[in-house]
Amino acid sequence: MLTVELNLFQGLAIAALVYTLGSFLIRKVPLLGKYCIPAPVVGGLIYALLHLLLRGTGVLEVVFDPTLQDFFMTIFFTSVGFTASFRLLKRGGKQVFIFLGIAIVMVVLQNLLGVGLATVFDLDSRLGLCMGSIPMVGGHGTAGSMGDMLDKMGVMGAKTVAIASATYGLLSGSMLGGPLARRRIAQNDLHSTGEDIESAGDLPEVEGVGVDTRHAALTSTQKFTSAAIFLGIASGVGTLISGFLDQFMTFPPYIGAMLAAAILRNIWDATGGYMPHEEISITGSVCLSLFLSFALMGLRLWELAELALPMIVILLAQTVLMAIYAYFVVFNLLGRDYESSVMTTAFCGFGMGATANAMANMQAVTDKYGPAPQAYFVVPLVGSLFIDFFNASIITIFLNLLG
């Protein structure tokens, strides 16, 4: 069988084409957009299936330099760290802390369920994490990074299982949330009492802490340069933090960069300094797309054959867990009102897929029943800013306990 080795730049070219293919298909197939399937996942799965066919028939195997994959992964998670503003967390009030607490408990339950059922099927218990909160709460970004780390730790098929589970989570979380919210609304005769989110002027922005008019005249080039400087410093300092933390526990390679970025963000918040939040976010999004393209290109789908039955059982169990938890726990603890019903549908989205799915779920419900401004503040604040920190920390604890 012919083996083709792609260098760093050739791999980047293929990753860019994979993303372009996914973007094209999302525009042409409305169902993909409806369920918020990321473009690199669509294009990457097609690439992985084609690679499986070529390798299975003994025609061709493709390998590529993973250096850029690791780089894009680190920069993306560094950008996530810059969103962790404790000033915003405090400003969000009681509901933010309740929603965050509910989400943290869900992370623990997902991992207990995944590890427990993996043990029942006589699998590596760490593989259960790849069908737990790694793909469910973490989404494709965490699935690709954590899965790759577990692969290197000797957990066979970890990244492939994690990314496949994340794709399942996107679909199931999108389909599960709406019916649960609609049932609660109908049962309790709930109605919207909030003003439209676009006119709710008292809601603070999630990404920043307000409009900085002093720096409004900066050009896009200057802002993106500043963003690159912040990301570069945080990722560099992060390697030192990771080196220190690794003396005590096994942490994901990006956790130091996330912590360094969070520290810088809160120092800048305290001093009133300028930070290009939007440009940092955009840079992170670009890096996530390319990282996922690389991650999907590296899928070894042939490893899923013997794991098909355990995966089906465990993922269906995760779906049942989410349905019960969202319907009975999330709705009741958040107040049993219309806002809590909207946050219930959102919880299904980001608890099994991503914050984008949560927002899509909320949009579908509020388009029919009316605005829910509090939900539109609480959900992205928790889903985009804080849950990744807690998810990574809890996964790390599980990994160290499981050895």
Query: What is the pTM for the complete model shown?
Result: 0.76
Long-range contacts of 260-263 (CB under 8 A, 24+ apart): 260/78, 260/81, 260/233, 260/234, 260/235, 261/78, 261/79, 261/80, 261/81, 261/82, 261/84, 261/230, 261/231, 261/234, 262/81, 262/82, 262/84, 262/389
Radius of gyration of the chain (CA): 21
Confidence of residue 199 (pLDDT cuts 50, 70, 90): very low
Q: How many CB atoms lie within 10 A of CB 236?
A: 13
How many angstroms separate the CA atoms of 361 and 338, rounded?
Answer: 14
- How far, in Å, CA of 375 to CA of 202, rounded? 14
pLDDT value for 280: 93
Q: What is residue 304's predicted lDDT score, i.e. its pLDDT?
A: 81
Confidence bin at 36 (pLDDT 50/70/90): low
| 237, pLDDT greater than 50 | yes
Question: pLDDT averaged over the chain?
Answer: 86
- Quickly state the pLDDT bin for 194 (edges 50, 70, 90): low
pLDDT, position 238: 93
Q: Could you give the CA distance from residue 287 to residue 198 in angstroms, rounded to a whole number?
A: 29
Q: What is the pLDDT of residue 195?
A: 54
pLDDT at 87 over 90: no
Cβ atoms within 10 Å of 154's Cβ, excluding its own: 9
Interatomic CA distance for residues 28 and 23, integer angstroms: 9
pLDDT tens digit string along 100-147? 999 999 999 999 999 999 999 999 999 999 999 999 998 888 888 899
